[in-house]
Chain A
């Protein structure tokens, strides 16, 4: 395998700079947002420099080029996810958060008789390890419709507790929405048991794939889910673009969320009918340059090979977990074995508050995230007010892990030894 993180780093201009007084940038915060290769930055910039026009609208060459680039990106996303219905199943949003909100709001718009219509007594199922973006929209949908919210718990070692699956996913369940990989724990959730049970009761399965699509090969058909959301900016792409994938027949039945230009078939003064998917869900001029940039990012990842990416991260995660296990006052919050586990590693360090740990790491050039990582209920479940999270990606290698480990020990000394 010719996978070289140090070679890959050369494609990312940001690694040419230093931080905090000449320190090499050790970027371990890709779980929050990834860095961008120059090809993505160029693609976004080239769109504005050479092809900028409103897609699906203008009667001129630029509009044609812009539309080709934008729709080309849609096809790339469809291929990347193995969407069985092709590009029509791909909806561009501004973020994964919007993708999930789109679903929740669109379901709230469903009239009686529509398969997405929810009523008193219906159920939506999530898990205790959800990011707020895959929790709060469903809470609110429940509040608007009278449906009740239920969830799978999390075990002490950070795995999903499926022991009561038949009691959680009841015959009244209409939606099961869960994360593929926890942004805090790194846990990769098993899906087949959940999709089987959900489909048995006629529920749809929504997958928050923000932390999986960037890091492993994800094929929507193999996974057997019905909807999937991920964000461009965690996947080497630009900010301002997210994806909602849905099965074609479901998207056809799902009502629109945002109304306006480009999403209509016909309009008169009293009403309107909707365009076919995906246009039905893309009102307004979209984030075109960002969609194009995302297409280039996914091509870049495809060239690396997603199996190579996940193998690289798996090996690196094992390396880092091993090194962390040797630090006596460090506790990993999440699975400590490297099975069904991604490369986000959260930890606590003695009694030192994560914000202080993060500050010290930053002084050593190490960029991490601290806090509850937008998963407050999970932090409460794991009985930690906050954690420090290191998250790895294609451009990280063992030397980054070594710098982190040294810096963690430095933090211990700095706050413990004074």
Chain B
């Protein structure tokens, strides 16, 4: 017997598989995947970045427009899995209209949620719909999918600020 006791213990912790899968693929995520928000790049922008997840090939291009400190628009295009595409869609919805400082609080909160390994439900006050990604943090292989758009945002925000 090769550590079967250990695996049984692990499995009992993990619980029902279907439930696990549903905790990953929340309705909000599948909705945003099927009906992405702010997809389609703006013709003008203060900064543009292209980020690629080299391990799976998912990619997004993200445009930002600022009015002073305020994010007046985020628009994007990309291809990838439901998690990566829904995540950038939800993020855009959340961050448009916020100041850069307000946005940073959201981004940091989301990053923390993604590194929580399933121990956090996320702060709905800050993250709103993005708490739907809490289940992703239980799947280490998918965390980078969820973070793709958010990392692109960090990059594009810095570039836009540098330019302005």
Q: Which residues of A line the B interface, CB within 8 A?
A: 13-14, 16-18, 20-23, 353-356, 359-360, 363-364, 370-372, 376, 379, 385-386, 414-415, 418
Taking a contact as CB atoms under 8 Å apart, the answer to whether B17 and A363 are in contact is yes
Q: How far is the CB of A183 from chain B (nearest CB, A)?
A: 15
Taking a contact as CB atoms under 8 Å apart, the answer to whether A21 and B17 are in contact is yes
Contact pick for B17, options A14, A23, A354, CB 8 Å:
A23
Taking a contact as CB atoms under 8 Å apart, the answer to whether B17 and A385 are in contact is no
Known: A21-B16, A363-B18. A355 touches B83 (CB 8 A): yes
Taking a contact as CB atoms under 8 Å apart, the answer to whether B80 and A353 are in contact is yes
A414–B16 alpha-carbon span in the complex (Å): 16
Q: Any chain A CB within 8 A of the CB of B162?
A: no
Beyond known contacts A17-B2, A385-B79, A415-B25: 18 more, CB 8 A cutoff:
A17-B4, A20-B17, A20-B20, A21-B16, A353-B80, A353-B82, A354-B56, A355-B84, A356-B81, A356-B82, A372-B56, A385-B57, A385-B80, A386-B56, A414-B21, A415-B30, A418-B27, A418-B30
Q: How far is the CB of B58 from chain A (nearest CB, A)?
A: 7
A371–B53 alpha-carbon span in the complex (Å): 10
Taking a contact as CB atoms under 8 Å apart, the answer to whether A372 and B57 are in contact is yes
Taking a contact as CB atoms under 8 Å apart, the answer to whether B21 and A360 are in contact is yes
When distances are taken between beta carbons in the complex, the residues of chain B under 8 Å from A354 are 56, 81
When distances are taken between beta carbons in the complex, the residues of chain B under 8 Å from A22 are 11
Q: Mark B87-128, 1 if CB is under 8 A from A, else 0.
A: 000000000000000000000000000000000000000000
Taking a contact as CB atoms under 8 Å apart, the answer to whether A359 and B21 are in contact is yes
A17–B4 alpha-carbon span in the complex (Å): 6
A13–B4 alpha-carbon span in the complex (Å): 11
The 5 tightest CB contacts between A and B, nearest first, are A355-B81, A353-B81, A371-B56, A21-B17, A372-B57
Taking a contact as CB atoms under 8 Å apart, the answer to whether B4 and A355 are in contact is no
Q: Any chain A CB within 8 A of the CB of B43?
A: no
When distances are taken between beta carbons in the complex, the residues of chain B under 8 Å from A360 are 21
Interface hub of A16, A360, A364, A385 (most chain B Cβ within 10 A):
A385
Q: Any chain A CB within 8 A of the CB of B44?
A: no
When distances are taken between beta carbons in the complex, the residues of chain A under 8 Å from B11 are 18, 20-22
Taking a contact as CB atoms under 8 Å apart, the answer to whether A16 and B1 are in contact is yes
Chain B, range 137-158, C-beta contacts under 8 Å to A? 139, 142, 145
Contact pick for B57, options A14, A371, A415, CB 8 Å:
A371
When distances are taken between beta carbons in the complex, the residues of chain B under 8 Å from A355 are 56, 58, 80-84, 142, 145
A23–B3 alpha-carbon span in the complex (Å): 16
Q: How far is the CB of A374 from chain B (nearest CB, A)?
A: 10
A370–B81 alpha-carbon span in the complex (Å): 11
When distances are taken between beta carbons in the complex, the residues of chain B under 8 Å from A418 are 27, 30
When distances are taken between beta carbons in the complex, the residues of chain A under 8 Å from B17 are 20-21, 23, 363-364
When distances are taken between beta carbons in the complex, the residues of chain A under 8 Å from B30 are 415, 418
Known: A21-B16, A363-B17, A363-B20. A371 touches B55 (CB 8 A): yes
When distances are taken between beta carbons in the complex, the residues of chain B under 8 Å from A356 are 25, 81-83
Taking a contact as CB atoms under 8 Å apart, the answer to whether A379 and B57 are in contact is yes
Q: How far is the CB of B67 from chain A (nearest CB, A)?
A: 35
Q: How far is the CB of A131 from chain B (nearest CB, A)?
A: 15
When distances are taken between beta carbons in the complex, the residues of chain B under 8 Å from A16 are 1-2, 4
A20–B20 alpha-carbon span in the complex (Å): 9
Taking a contact as CB atoms under 8 Å apart, the answer to whether A359 and B24 are in contact is yes
Q: How far is the CB of A377 from chain B (nearest CB, A)?
A: 12
When distances are taken between beta carbons in the complex, the residues of chain B under 8 Å from A385 are 57-58, 79-80
A148–B82 alpha-carbon span in the complex (Å): 40
Q: How far is the CB of A107 from chain B (nearest CB, A)?
A: 27
Closest A residue by C-beta to B145: A355
Closest A residue by C-beta to B80: A353
A57–B55 alpha-carbon span in the complex (Å): 41
Contact pick for A18, options B1, B7, B139, B142, CB 8 Å:
B7
Interface hub of B2, B17, B25, B82 (most chain A Cβ within 10 A):
B17
Known: A21-B11, A21-B16. A363 touches B21 (CB 8 A): yes
Contact pick for A17, options B7, B18, B81, CB 8 Å:
B7
Closest B residue by C-beta to A372: B57
Q: Mark B1-13, 1 if CB is under 8 A from A, else 0.
A: 1111001000100
Q: How far is the CB of A355 from chain B (nearest CB, A)?
A: 4
Q: How far is the CB of B73 from chain A (nearest CB, A)?
A: 26
Provide a sorted-by-A list of 8 A–B residue pairs whose CB atoms are within 8 angstroms: A14-B2, A17-B4, A21-B11, A21-B20, A353-B82, A355-B56, A386-B57, A418-B27
Chain B, range 51-78, C-beta contacts under 8 Å to A? 55-58
Chain B, range 33-56, C-beta contacts under 8 Å to A? 55-56
Closest B residue by C-beta to A14: B2
When distances are taken between beta carbons in the complex, the residues of chain A under 8 Å from B84 are 355
A20–B55 alpha-carbon span in the complex (Å): 23
Closest A residue by C-beta to B18: A363
